[in-house]
């Protein structure tokens, strides 16, 4: 090879590289921040379907653990960093961020999207001033999971819609501490998304509320005392040891290894505890609605992971195209076709629950739907409240405040302070916080 051929070859190779490079440059790349859970990971595997239909759009994923993700995307959106074109955010963030003008309304999801098919309870939490600001990817509520075999042995029958009174009685009856079987496992680990998610939802059923119409904290009211007293006593009698450090994962592993008679937590847990690969009690689990006390509110929460478009992105159109694909009806069919109906992301669309094949494949489908429908984020408590949110209060201050209150409640569960002390302390610190933030004039 002489020098000329070599140069010629190099030049044409460079030109070719330049061409392909220019070709790539035209394709838009969407950077998507998402949370690490089974449904989201499944979606990442199925995106070939989207990219083959939209060859001009490429996807880049940033998958992070929930708490890391929250910190990461909050920093980015608050500083208009523009690192992401699509963010996965919870129902807590959506109303706050939409009000700040940080999110773009999803008004271009296409004619086939069928917004009216979204479950009303979920949709209402994502709609602000009549506009949808995030599309639900999967929704969840909370419910009772119980061990049918232990109930049978104790001569008990779980009703579909139990009361707290029955749950407490059953829990005490089933408990057999010498064999390490505890009647009920509930969250105790401090945090606004940990024990306070459970306790706030439970307090709703006891007629309590975080704030009255004038944003005055209500921990000094008898309803909160009833709720917290009930919880602490029940957990002392029938809960596992060290419950004040148990969150979702700790209770999941207790339940899966056969140590809990009942567990009240997120509906997403149903697919874990019934999975014979992970759970030793897979074929013995029954489901019931979260308990009530006859006041008209059930103690179940409402949560959804949603896809939203931050206001800083330059690729809003492509982002909405992707969201329409990922949260649309077609996607559910795609998952069903590739992975079976039981693996379809639950809790977002009415049509899914009307589908007989899904009903057959997912034994917990009806309970999930009933639980979601029983939650009303705009009227979460028995008494009127000034806020949105069932197991949280959708104000920016809630993460800090909820965790601080969660810490004193966790201390009450651990026996480090009495219920009265915990409530007095919660009242004091939330009054201070709400005054400082300007809610209490």
Partner 1 sequence: MARNVSTGRKLITTVVAWTIGILIFFPILWTFLTSFKTEAQAIASPPVFLFFDWTTENYAEVQSRSDYLKHFMNSVIVSFGSTLLGLLIAIPSAWAMAFSPTKRTKDVLMWMLSTKMMPPVGVLVPMYLIFRNWGLLDTRTGLVIVLTLINLPIIIWMLYTYFKEIPGEILEAARMDGASLSKEIIYVLTPMAIPGIASTLLLNIILAWNEAFWTLNLSAAKAAPLTAFIASYSSPEGLFYAKLSAASTMAIAPILILGWFSQKQLVRGLTFGAVK
Pick from 78, 159, 314, 378 the residue near partner 1 by CB under 8 A. Answer: 78
In the complex with partner 1, the residue whose CB is nearer, 45 or 360, is 45
- Least separation in angstroms between residue 271's CB and partner 1 is 9
Pick from 257, 314, 418, 421 the residue near partner 1 by CB under 8 A. Answer: 257
Pick from 82, 363, 386, 396 the residue near partner 1 by CB under 8 A. Answer: 82
What is d(CA 406, CA 419) in angstroms, rounded to the nearest whole number? 13
- Least separation in angstroms between residue 68's CB and partner 1 is 5
- Least separation in angstroms between residue 269's CB and partner 1 is 8
In the complex with partner 1, the residue whose CB is nearer, 40 or 184, is 40
Q: How far is the CA of 170 from the CAs of 231, 296, 358, in angstroms?
A: 14, 22, 32
- Least separation in angstroms between residue 281's CB and partner 1 is 11
> Whose CA is closest to 91, among 319, 388, 406?
388
- Least separation in angstroms between residue 253's CB and partner 1 is 4
What is d(CA 394, CA 397) in angstroms, rounded to the nearest whole number? 8
Please report how the helices 164-174 and 222-238 are oriented relative to each other, as an axis angle in degrees rounded to 10: 20
Residues 11-70 that bind partner 1 (CB under 8 A): 31, 33, 35-38, 41, 44, 60-68
- Least separation in angstroms between residue 192's CB and partner 1 is 12
In the complex with partner 1, the residue whose CB is nearer, 29 or 421, is 29
Residues 233-252 that bind partner 1 (CB under 8 A): 247-249, 252
- Least separation in angstroms between residue 305's CB and partner 1 is 10
HSE, side-chain direction, 13 A CA sphere, residue 217 = 20
Cβ atoms 133, 306 nearer than 8 A: no
In the complex with partner 1, the residue whose CB is nearer, 40 or 232, is 40
In the complex with partner 1, the residue whose CB is nearer, 107 or 278, is 278
In the complex with partner 1, the residue whose CB is nearer, 28 or 212, is 28
Q: Is 410 in the site for partner 1 (CB under 8 A)?
A: no
What is d(CA 218, CA 441) in angstroms, rounded to the nearest whole number? 16
Q: Is 272 in the site for partner 1 (CB under 8 A)?
A: yes
How many CB atoms are closer than 10 A to CB 322?
22
Work out whether strand 28-35 and strand 302-308 pair parallel, antiparallel, or are unpaired: unpaired
Pick from 6, 27, 80, 317 the residue near partner 1 by CB under 8 A. Answer: 80
What is d(CA 240, CA 203) in angstroms, rounded to the nearest whole number? 21
> Whose CA is closest to 241, among 301, 185, 192?
185
- Any idea which residue has 């094949």 for tokens? 357
- Least separation in angstroms between residue 138's CB and partner 1 is 11
Q: Is 406 in the site for partner 1 (CB under 8 A)?
A: no
In the complex with partner 1, the residue whose CB is nearer, 70 or 297, is 70
Pick from 12, 236, 245, 280 the residue near partner 1 by CB under 8 A. Answer: 280
> Whose CA is closest to 375, among 299, 270, 269?
299
Tokens of 292: 């009530």
In the complex with partner 1, the residue whose CB is nearer, 205 or 281, is 281
- Any idea which residue has 């209402």 for tokens? 124
In the complex with partner 1, the residue whose CB is nearer, 79 or 351, is 79
Tokens of 314: 């330059």
**Helix, strand, or coil (residue 358):** helix
> Whose CA is closest to 384, among 129, 224, 121, 207?
207
Work out whether strand 182-185 and strand 260-266 pair parallel, antiparallel, or are unpaired: parallel
What is d(CA 90, CA 304) in angstroms, rounded to the nearest whole number? 6
Q: Is 178 in the site for partner 1 (CB under 8 A)?
A: no
Using CB under 8 A, count the residues that bind partner 1. Answer: 45
Q: Which helix (H) or strand (E) holds 223?
A: helix 222-238
What is d(CA 330, CA 336) in angstroms, rounded to the nearest whole number? 10
Q: Is 8 in the site for partner 1 (CB under 8 A)?
A: no
Q: Is 181 in the site for partner 1 (CB under 8 A)?
A: no
- Where do contacts with partner 1 occur on this chain (CB under 8 A)? 31, 33, 35-38, 41, 44, 60-68, 71-72, 75-76, 78-84, 193, 247-249, 252-253, 256-257, 259, 266, 268-269, 272, 277-280
């Amino acid at each position: 090879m002489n020098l000329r051929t070599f140069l010629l070859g190099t030049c044409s190779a460079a030109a070719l590289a330049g061409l392909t490079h220019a070709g790539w440059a035209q394709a838009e790349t969407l950077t998507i921040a998402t949370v690490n859970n089974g449904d989201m990971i499944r979606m990442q595997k199925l995106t070939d379907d989207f990219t083959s239909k939209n060859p001009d759009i490429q996807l880049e994923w940033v998958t992070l653990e929930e708490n890391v993700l929250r910190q990461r995307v909050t920093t980015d959106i608050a500083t208009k960093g523009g690192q992401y074109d699509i963010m996965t955010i919870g129902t807590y963030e959506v109303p706050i961020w939409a009000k700040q003008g940080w999110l773009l309304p999803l008004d271009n999801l296409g004619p086939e999207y069928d917004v009216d098919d979204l479950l009303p309870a979920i949709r209402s939490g994502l709609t602000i001033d009549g506009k949808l600001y995030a599309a639900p990817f999967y929704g969840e509520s909370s419910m009772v999971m119980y061990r049918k075999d232990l109930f049978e042995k104790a001569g008990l029958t779980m009703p579909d819609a139990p009361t707290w009174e029955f749950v407490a009685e059953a829990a005490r009856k089933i408990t057999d501490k010498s064999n390490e079987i505890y009647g009920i496992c509930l969250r105790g680990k401090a945090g606004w998304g940990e024990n306070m998610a459970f306790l706030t939802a439970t307090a709703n059923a006891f007629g309590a509320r975080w704030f009255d119409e004038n944003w005055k904290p209500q921990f000094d009211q008898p309803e909160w005392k009833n709720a917290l007293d009930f919880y602490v006593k029940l957990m002392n009698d029938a809960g596992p040891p060290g419950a004040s450090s148990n969150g979702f994962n700790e209770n999941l592993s207790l339940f899966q290894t056969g140590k809990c008679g009942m567990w009240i937590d997120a509906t997403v847990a149903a697919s874990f505890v019934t999975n014979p690969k992970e759970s030793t009690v897979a074929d013995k689990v029954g489901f019931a609605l979260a308990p009530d006390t006859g006041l008209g509110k059930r103690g179940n929460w409402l949560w959804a992971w949603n896809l939203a478009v931050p206001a800083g992105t330059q690729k809003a159109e492509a982002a909405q195209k992707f969201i329409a694909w990922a949260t649309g009806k077609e996607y559910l069919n795609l998952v069903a076709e590739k992975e079976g109906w039981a693996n379809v992301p639950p809790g977002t669309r009415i049509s899914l629950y009307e589908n007989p094949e899904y009903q057959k494949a997912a034994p917990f489908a009806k309970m999930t739907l009933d639980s979601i429908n029983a939650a009303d984020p705009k009227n979460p408590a028995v008494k009127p409240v000034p806020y949105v949110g069932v197991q949280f209060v959708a104000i920016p201050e809630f993460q800090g405040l909820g965790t601080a209150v969660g810490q004193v409640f966790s201390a009450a569960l651990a026996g480090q302070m009495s219920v009265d002390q915990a409530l007095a302390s919660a009242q004091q610190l939330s009054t201070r916080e709400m005054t400082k933030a300007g809610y209490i004039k």
